[in-house]
Amino acid sequence: MEEQVLSAVAQFGVAGLIGWMWLTERRASGSREKQLNDLHERVMSDRTTTDVLVSVVSANTRAITALEATHRELIAVIDRRESAKDPGRAA
Has residue 8 got a pLDDT over 80? no
The model's pTM is: 0.47
Nearest alpha carbon to residue 80 among 89, 67, 70, 71: 89
Q: Is the pLDDT reported for residue 86 higher than 70?
A: yes
Looking at residues 29-56, what average pLDDT do you find? Answer: 91
pLDDT at 2 over 60: yes
Phi, psi of 87 (to 5 degrees): -60, -20
Flag whether pLDDT at 45 surpasses 90: no
What percent of the chain shows pLDDT beyond 70?
91
